[in-house]
Structure 1
Amino acid sequence: MEDLLRPIYQERASNPSTLGIILIERKKPNSPITDNFDVVLLIIVRSLETDWQEKHYELYNGKTAVMHTITEDLLRRWIDTSGYRKAVEWIIAGKTIFDRNEYISRLKEQLRSFPHEKRDLRKAMEFGKLIKSYTDVKDLYISEQYKDAYTRMIHSLHYLARLAIIEKGYYPEVTLWNQVKKIDPEVYKLYDELIRSNEEIAKRVELMILAADFAISRKAKVSAKHLLDIMETKNGAWSYEEIKQNANVQPYELDLNAMLNYLTEKGILAAVRIDTKGEGVYERKYRVNRP
């Protein structure tokens, strides 16, 4: 397969802008990692007319291939924000067929080490999604929309699982639950109990709300570390707008409201009331609740 594609990737390798080329082959009949193509070529470049270009190929032997050409900046965003989870697996598991100045080797090592500062950002992002999803579960359950509540609970447990994996220093894979089973059996057990239980859906969701609430509270402070560290950079309280305008919060700004409310409810943040011109109306600001 590699021989058939060599004329295509060699042309790219000769371009000074190309930093590395990785090849990923399909290992099984149904292959989400390769989108069911027989081979994926990932070409990382310094610059490109557009951040991401994709070309599909058919080979004379009936095989199919896809070539993704992406900029280094886009790849970094994907890695840092889980923008395209397959890319991380491509880099870790793929075969390096071109490596300018050991760019791919260093990238693979960075992914294996998963630096703490990148870990904290990813945890905050997953935590925000988790809180928003879990809030939806409770609202749907109270409204007696049990099937929808069940579906949202599945999503919530996915976010909880990703948190558990990131906390242990790994990047979440596409085959998430297989990974969680090895890394965090307790989170896997929650998922297993939800989908395998013989109880009615309403009862399953009710029991899982209680179990998930405990699991989320236990992880809250560690998961929100990225946000709490930002808020610790000044002594006074922060308005919502001040937090939102901080560039470091941008990756999870859409979930910021849910995070602030949850952290305040759990006593991790303190709500500070500031007088306004309206009698009995206060602006709410936030500060980290120090022990």
Structure 2
Amino acid sequence: MEDILRPIYQERASSPSTLGILLIEKGAKPSTLTDTFDYVLLVITKDANQPVFIKHYTYKDKKAALHIVEEEQLQEWLLLGTNRKIIEWIYNGKVLFDRNEYLSELKQELREFPFYGRKIKMGMEFAKLIRRYVDGKAFFENGHFLDAYNHIVHSLHHLARLEIIEQGFFPEVTVWNQVKHIEPQIFKLYEELITSDETLEKRLELLFLASEFLIFSRTDSGTQHFRDVLETKKEKWTIHDLINEEELKYYSIDLGVLLEYLIEKKLVTVVKEETKGHEVFHRYYKVNKE
């Protein structure tokens, strides 16, 4: 099949904007890696008319997919973790074309996982974790146990990803297989939640207690990037300032709940300033250095 696909990828390789081409094959065992396709061609380009372009091909009983991805889109996926398959494609794909060792350096970067990139990703995962945990606890306290269960499963997933990132790895699609070896304690919590014979209410009650400790123990590392931005760029911040700060844009809708969590844990202080209204104050935020 690679011979059949050669004219397709050779045409892309001849373009000066193409940085690298990878071939990903479906394995013998069932896998989600190629989305049921037998082959995936991943073309990374410097300039494109659109961030992502996909085309499908058929040859006899085989099917192939061509994915042309702009480098800027690729970097965004790697930062935000919104397309985890792409990491496995880069790890496992066969290099068909590599301009100026672009793919070799990208693979090396994924293996080394620069610390600054880790700090941002940890902050984003921690913010998502807090959002799910807080919402899940609210559902639990109101007796909505199935909704609480859904949120606690997601919060454990973010906790697992946070731990994997902190250890210097990119989270893969099979994140629970990863965390089982990296941090068995988190894996055990997840296993107990889904396999325990206790009632759902009791399982959730125990999970919220255990999760609270695990979350708190990772608060310092998980919020380091967020607190560094607050501390180094301005003395105090309004919520409008925070929302519009370029380095914090990836926290998105989770920023507010993260901020309130840090206030509760006394890592961020609220500064009040008078307004023209009687006993109404402007609310500013600053990192607590004590």
TM-score interval for Structure 1 and Structure 2 normalised by the shorter chain = over 0.9
CA distance in 1, matches of 2:198, 2:28: 35
Query: Residue in 1 aligned with 2:33?
Result: 33
Query: Residue in 1 aligned with 2:111?
Result: 112
Name the amino acid aligned to 2:146.
Answer: K
Query: Residue in 1 aligned with 2:283?
Result: 284
CA RMSD of aligned residues (A): 1.1
Q: Retained in 2: the 8 A contact 1:221–1:268?
A: no
Is 1:147 paired with 2:141?
no
Name the amino acid aligned to 1:16.
Answer: P
Describe the SS at the equivalent of 1:226: helix
CA distance in 2, matches of 1:201, 1:28: 38
Q: Retained in 2: the 8 A contact 1:29–1:36?
A: no
Query: Residue in 1 aligned with 2:52?
Result: 52
Name the amino acid aligned to 2:85.
Answer: K
Report deviation, 1:173: 0.4
Alpha-carbon deviations, 1:75-121, whole Å to 9, x = none?
Answer: 11111111211111111111111101100000000111111111011
- Aligned positions of 1:194-209 closer than 5 A: 194-209=193-208
Describe the SS at the equivalent of 1:238: coil
CA distance in 2, matches of 1:28, 1:141: 43
Is 1:233 paired with 2:255?
no
Is 1:89 paired with 2:60?
no
CA distance in 1, matches of 2:66, 2:31: 16
- Aligned positions of 1:70-219 closer than 5 A: 70-219=69-218
Give the count of matched residue pairs. 290
Percent identity over the alignment is 47
Name the amino acid aligned to 1:167.
Answer: E
Describe the SS at the equivalent of 1:212: helix
Report deviation, 1:234: 4.4
Gaps of 5+ in 2: none
Report deviation, 1:147: 1.1
CA distance in 2, matches of 1:82, 1:19: 21
Name the amino acid aligned to 2:48.
Answer: L
Name the amino acid aligned to 2:10.
Answer: Q
Describe the SS at the equivalent of 1:169: coil
Describe the SS at the equivalent of 2:19: strand
Describe the SS at the equivalent of 1:33: coil
- Aligned positions of 1:237-252 closer than 5 A: 237-252=236-251
Gaps of 5+ in 1: none
CA distance in 1, matches of 2:124, 2:28: 32
Report deviation, 1:164: 0.4
Describe the SS at the equivalent of 2:170: coil
Alpha-carbon deviations, 1:235-275, whole Å to 9, x = none?
Answer: 62211111211101011121100100001101111111121
Alpha-carbon deviations, 1:22-44, whole Å to 9, x = none?
Answer: 11111145321111111111000
Greater shift in the superposed pair: 190-199 or 228-237: 228-237
Describe the SS at the equivalent of 1:186: helix
Describe the SS at the equivalent of 2:232: coil
The two structures have a TM-score, normalised by structure 2, of 0.97
Alpha-carbon deviations, 1:197-225, whole Å to 9, x = none?
Answer: 11001111111011111111111121011
Describe the SS at the equivalent of 1:36: coil
CA distance in 1, matches of 2:276, 2:220: 35
CA 203–8 in structure 1, closer or farther in 2 if over 3 Å, else same: same
CA distance in 1, matches of 2:217, 2:24: 38
CA distance in 1, matches of 2:34, 2:182: 24
Describe the SS at the equivalent of 2:76: helix
